[in-house]
Amino acid sequence: MKYKVFVDGQEGTTGLKINERLSGRADIDILKIDPERRKDPEERRAFLNNADIAFLCLPDDASRESAALVTNNRTKIIDASTAHRTDPNWTYGIPELSKNQRALIKDSHRVAVPGCHATGFNMALYPLIQEGIVPKDYPVTCQSVTGYSGGGKKLIEKYEGTGADKKNLESPQFYALSLKHKHLPEMQKVNGLVFPPLFTPIVGDFYQGMVVAVPLLARLLSKKISAEDVQNILASYYASERFVRVMPYGSESYLDNGFLDATGCNNTNRIEIFVFGDSEQILLLSRLDNLGKGASGAAVQNMNIMLGLDEGIGLE
């Protein structure tokens, strides 16, 4: 059986990657809209309603518009934008998040792909909140270093161009300094945090890959626990997950002279979680490909689950 798949926003970074991941699959028929008519609502409506799976790789407002164009009870939508990530009528698309999440995704017709920063943050922190280790009113902070592809076409063109400000881009750049980054609502809601995290992302002069860091002070936790204990808890929580690797405690052998490479999971759907520290300070680090597990890989993984297929098809 062939499933009909339509990518609304096929020219964007995530859309291109989804098409690339699906292009060699014999079980998928990719529906292609005429580029000149890709903004025509009626043409998009026809493609969306003809698909078994529709990926929305669009700005938020356009994603909401496309979702509203689906008028049948058959088409399943996977939205890669920020538009529906905290909407209670949409299922949050991290299958590994809890023992129930995969079943919720399988039975859903509306799935929101998490943000890349949020994926690293949630997968490191969520189990510790569920285990009653990190209290929900903890003053959570997070930093994330990411490649510039996460900023889409405009930022890619800026970094890969020859403009007058090219020299300035050699240095890592803090951004979202209003402290209102678009991933914050899902980071707070998914974890049930009383307060939003203080989140400071950084973009670097490399194309893809990212590391998300969440520091914890042991004295503020609900239980007396060490970094090694945290590693054991996370390793047990994700033990059966093929795309999640909780690295051994004291993972110096995975570092390069003490440095952690943000590109180590590139071109995979894998996320690696590291735990460093001692009995007083604990550092959680999530490494993933912002275009893989942080975007297109997660989207395809969700699609496989929604269609009742092996979720690793096209990802391993």
- pLDDT tens-digit series, residues 132-144: 999 999 999 999 9
Residue-wise pLDDT for 17-58, tens only, equals 999 999 989 999 999 998 888 888 899 999 999 999 999 999
Matching fold, domains 3-114+294-306 and 116-290: no
SS3 123: helix
For 284-288, what is the mean pLDDT? 98
- Please tell me the predicted confidence (pLDDT) of residue 164: 64
| Total residues found in the chain within this entry | 316
SS3 89: coil
What CATH homologous superfamily does 116-290 map to? Dihydrodipicolinate Reductase; domain 2 (3.30.360.10)
What are the percentages of helix, strand and coil residues in the chain, rounded to 5?
35, 20, 45
The confidence band for 1, taking pLDDT boundaries of 50, 70 and 90, is confident
Catalytic residues, which ones?
116
Distance CA 194, CA 184 (A): 13
Alpha-carbon 265 to chain mean position: 13
What are φ and ψ of residue 169, in 5° steps? -80, -5
pTM for the whole structure: 0.96
Residue type, 214: V
Domain ranges of the chain: 3-114+294-306, 116-290
Q: Could you tell me the CA-to-CA distances from 64 to 59, 68, 112, 150, 213 in Å, in that order? A: 9, 6, 12, 21, 31
What CATH homologous superfamily does 3-114+294-306 map to? NAD(P)-binding Rossmann-like Domain (3.40.50.720)
What are φ and ψ of residue 198, in 5° steps? -90, 105
